[in-house]
Copies of this chain bind each other. A is one copy, B any other.
Amino acid sequence: MTASLLLRNVRPYAGPAVDMLIENGRITRIGAGIQAPAGVTVEDGRGEIVIPGLVEAHAHLDKSLWGLPWYTNEVGPKLLDKIDNERENKKRLNIDPARQSARQSIQSSLMGSTHIRSHVDVDTEHGLWGVEGVMATREGYRDIIDIELVAFPQSGLLRRPGTLELMDQAMKAGCEVVGGLDPCAIDRDPKGHLDAVFALCQRYGKPLDIHLHEPGEMGLFSTDLIVERTRALGMKGKVTISHAFSLGADPALVDPVIEQLAELDIAIMTTGPASRPAPPVKKLLAAGVRVCSGSDGIRDTWGPYGNADMLERAMFVGLRNNLRRDDELRLALDVCTSEGARVMEVDGYGVSEGSNADLVILPGETVAEAIVTRSPKRRVLKRGKVVARDGVSIRTAP
């Protein structure tokens, strides 16, 4: 599963051109004029930019309609409309989690992602269908991408009896992260919901990544309850809040919360949503908070957008946060690469000697240009092996 390769004439983060020797899946030397050891293939970098693999830190691999006939969306406006519509139509629409997660994983890989954190629905209608499907993809596509599973109670946890037991089974089956969802707005029992998901974390020694769409004061209240439990249970550095729209509220309310997020090393995931209040990325990073990003759902019953391109996501994060300067665009890229890796605690991530050779080679004069251009002419390496080239993966979608 690992490979050796001499990568000639690439520019790490658009800096000066170097050669990179990759041996057994790791970068062993970076410098000028490196000779290829006998039998090692040479890949011509053509002076292009090299960055570490993009990190898709918030996907829903089990539910994309990718590759299925077009789904005409006529769903109502509320969050619960979308939740109920999806749960009720998943089987009818033939959204098989194994097939669909494989399709999306290939798509992610060929756009340059080398790591995915996927929330996976756990509910009383479908049980562990989603978890089993995405686990099959996790095993079957290890050569091109690493996938981490979050057991995710999409339809609510306490409001649908039996879900908590299924969540427990999902963790037992090998999910790496405990998920949660809007303790006030959906489950209508913030104490009950949070006590339950934190108890799962404790039982399995796993981190938490909780969806929090709740806006304004309600979301900040839930955040406060999350902070309280993170501190009390010694889970510093082990909690991620996804979406966190409430951090887009009045800075007078939000700034004290950011201090606590930093203190307890609670990470934030933002998609850079254009139509919702959003976490202030620059301010969070400046405060030392880890900030990652993800595609969220792509082309599913929730909405038609998305292509799993984390460079496009860097653009969305940039547009949402009014990042215009080149140094700001670099922050947007960090959110979609190194920050995501920190949130997922990926070992050996980066473009340096000793790092895993999970890399993207792409055209552009600068990092900012690479983001705004989003060339499809990308080469993607996973553990030193070229797994995608110009939009074509070494794997064929089912």
Contact = CB atoms under 8 A, between A and B. Distances in A.
A272 interface: yes
B372 A324 contact: no
Nearest to A369: B70
Interface in A128-157: none
Greatest chain B CB density within 10 A among A74, A303, A304, A307 is at: A304
B305 A73 contact: no
Nearest to A14: B70
Nearest to A325: B73
Given A305-B319, A318-B305, A320-B274, A326 B372 contact: no
Contacts of A373: 307
A366 B70 contact: yes
Interface of A: 69-70, 72-75, 272-276, 299, 302-307, 315-316, 318-322, 324-327, 329, 365-366, 368-369, 371-373
Contacts of A73: 324-326, 368
Contacts of A275: 319-322
A298 B73 CA distance: 32
A150 B146 CA distance: 52
Contacts of A369: 70, 304
5 contacts: A70-B368, A73-B326, A304-B329, A307-B372, A316-B319
Given A273-B319, A304-B369, 5 more contacts: A72-B326, A73-B368, A74-B325, A274-B316, A275-B319
Residue with the greatest number of chain B CB neighbours at <10 A, chosen from A299, A303, A365, A366: A303
Contacts of A329: 304
Contacts of A368: 70, 72-73, 304
Interface centre among A73, A326, A373 (most CB of B within 10 A): A73
B305 A372 contact: yes
Contacts of A372: 299, 304-307
A280 B105 CA distance: 35
A275 to B, nearest CB: 4
Nearest to A73: B325
Contact of A305 (B72, B299, B315, B327): B315
A250 to B, nearest CB: 15
A273 B316 CA distance: 11
A104 B2 CA distance: 45
Nearest to A301: B324
A195 to B, nearest CB: 33
Contacts of A303: 324
Given A70-B369, A365-B70, A75 B274 contact: no
A329 B368 CA distance: 29
Contacts of A324: 73, 75, 302-304
A252 to B, nearest CB: 18
A26 to B, nearest CB: 32
Nearest to A76: B325
Contacts of A371: 304
A323 to B, nearest CB: 9
Nearest to A329: B304
A48 to B, nearest CB: 14
Contact of A74 (B72, B306, B326): B326
A325 B69 contact: no
